Copies of this chain bind each other. A is one copy, B any other.
Amino acid sequence: GRLTHVDETGRASMIDVGDKVPVRRVAIAAGRITLAPSTVALIRENKVKKGDVLTVAQIAGIQAAKHTHHLIPLCHPLPLTKVDVRTKLTDDGVAVEGEARCTGKTGVEMEALTAVHVALLTIYDMCKAVDKSMVMEGIHLVEKRKEVIE
């Protein structure tokens, strides 16, 4: 028979989104990594030994967004229609923005956030030989919206 009497307190559970109507969804997340001025200069001149930091970070972030539901246990797989990662070199680090879009039954904020996190991790990895005091900060959701499909 069914396990109908299982105690459910605190039990992990994926929300059932079967009843939701697919709508077009967009989410934008952002974060930054603080770098030493000398590291910023190396990135600007594309002289970091491991390669073009911002491009590798951007690609890693895009690929990670497609892995979100494998990384975060209670996330649903989603038919992403676009993932974008934008980076901006500032005087004291790199600002990263991630965008995810899908036409589906749940929001894509976790995909946008995952893209930002992994892009930041990749910058960290590429600069860690020359910068020992990097910190990743301010990772948050900037915007989330949906549009009903006519």
A2 contacts B67, C-beta separation under 8 Å: no
Contact (A80, B81) CB under 8 Å given A12-B55, A138-B137: no
A117 contacts B110, C-beta separation under 8 Å: no
Tell me the number of copies of this protein: 6
Q: Describe A's contact surface by its main secondary structure.
A: mixed
Interface residues on chain A, size class = 35 or more
* A49 touches B (CB below 8 Å): yes
New A-B pairs, 17, CB < 8 Å, besides A16-B101, A17-B82, A71-B118: A10-B52, A12-B50, A12-B62, A13-B49, A15-B49, A15-B82, A18-B24, A56-B59, A59-B73, A62-B73, A63-B63, A63-B70, A67-B67, A67-B70, A77-B78, A117-B136, A133-B140
Minimal Cβ-Cβ distance residue in B for A12: B51
